[in-house]
């Protein structure tokens, strides 16, 4: 019997004990099953509910947003990097190809935005060509300047708050991946922030979050890497933004 099946069985006995006269007997059996579950290693995992929050301006539906650019991150100093809880994936042979978390986030946002209809995305090549001419500073100023240079209606910027890699394998992690980031959409013409989404998730075993059984099943009970977990959050954020902009 699998770990998940034992959980389902325990809940079945709980429901039975609630409606049966044999409450004491079934409650003892439920306690036995629960103790048995605790003796198993937590091999099943899931994303918990409530890991994404967002807000937007009240007039976002009236804004004309058709052409969008994804702003690539500035190169971070060593001091700035140390402020982000970060543990990289193990790459023992080739460390030169390892991307910074901010670059991973930017790439995932670009590919996710590009896969959806209705809006036009500025190519990453075009963004790279002009980004060196955008002065360093606050995201709001950089986004507006970049947007003006590539003739975008809006610009998406992103910040990584936490990026900790999974320790272990997909079927048995000693430490789960943990990711937190913020995405923001800036109106180029007005220069204001019109949408913001925050994703914050540390993957947990199913035993700690039985109510997320649906997501656990869709994912096959695997422990995700930090990049896979980031992609989950990016898809949630971008899909919601798309629905808000084009729900008419």
**Residue given tokens 């430490």 in the structure block:** 175
Average pLDDT over residues 234-247: 94
Task: Select from 30, 18, 51, 6 the least CA-distant residue to 161.
Answer: 51
Q: What's residue 23's pLDDT?
A: 42
Per residue in 16-44, pLDDT tens? 443 444 343 445 444 444 443 344 333 33
The proportion of the chain whose per-residue pLDDT surpasses 70, expressed as a percent, equals 63
Closest CA to 158 of 58, 84, 62, 245: 84
CATH of 49-203+223-246, one of 3.40.50.300, 1.10.8.10, 2.30.29.30, 3.40.50.10610: 3.40.50.10610
Nearest to 131 by CA among 149, 108, 105: 149
What CA–CA distance (Å, rounded) separates 114 from 68? 10
Rounded CA separation 234/106 (Å): 10
Which of 170 and 49 is assigned the larger pLDDT? 170
- What pLDDT does 226 receive? 94
Digit-coded pLDDT (tens) for 130-184? 999 999 889 999 999 999 999 999 999 999 999 999 888 777 767 888 999 999 9
134 or 207: which leads in pLDDT:
134
Q: Tell me the pLDDT tens digit for each residue of 71-80.
A: 988 654 445 4
Predicted TM-score (pTM) of this structure: 0.72
Give pairs for 1-5: CB < 8 Å, separation 24+. 3/37, 3/40, 3/42, 3/43, 3/44, 3/206, 3/207, 4/44, 4/206, 4/213, 4/216, 4/221
Boundaries of every domain in the chain: 49-203+223-246
The pLDDT score that the predictor gives to residue 54 is 95
């Amino acid at each position: 019997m699998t770990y998940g099946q034992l959980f389902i069985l325990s809940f079945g006995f709980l429901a039975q004990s609630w409606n049966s006269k044999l409450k004491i007997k079934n409650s003892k059996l439920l306690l036995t099953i629960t103790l048995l579950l605790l003796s198993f290693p937590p091999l099943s995992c899931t994303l918990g509910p409530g890991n994404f929050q967002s807000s937007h301006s009240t007039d976002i539906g009236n804004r004309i947003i058709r052409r969008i650019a994804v702003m690539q991150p500035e190169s971070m100093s060593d001091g700035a990097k140390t402020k982000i809880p970060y543990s990289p994936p193990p790459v023992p042979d080739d460390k030169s190809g390892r991307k910074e978390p901010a670059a991973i986030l930017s790439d995932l946002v670009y590919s996710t935005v590009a896969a959806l209809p209705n809006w036009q995305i500025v190519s990453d090549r075009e963004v790279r060509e002009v980004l060196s001419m955008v002065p360093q500073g606050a995201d709001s100023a950089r986004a507006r300047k970049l947007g003006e240079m590539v003739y975008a209606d809006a610009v998406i910027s992103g910040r990584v708050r936490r990026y900790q890699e999974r320790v272990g394998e997909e079927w048995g992690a000693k430490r789960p991946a943990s990711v937190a980031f913020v995405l923001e959409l800036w109106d180029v013409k007005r220069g204001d922030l019109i949408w913001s989404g925050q994703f914050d998730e540390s993957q947990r075993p199913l035993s700690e979050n039985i109510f997320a059984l649906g997501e656990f099943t869709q994912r096959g009970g695997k422990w995700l890497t930090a990049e896979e977990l980031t992609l989950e959050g990016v898809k949630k954020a971008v899909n919601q933004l798309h629905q808000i902009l084009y729900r008419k």
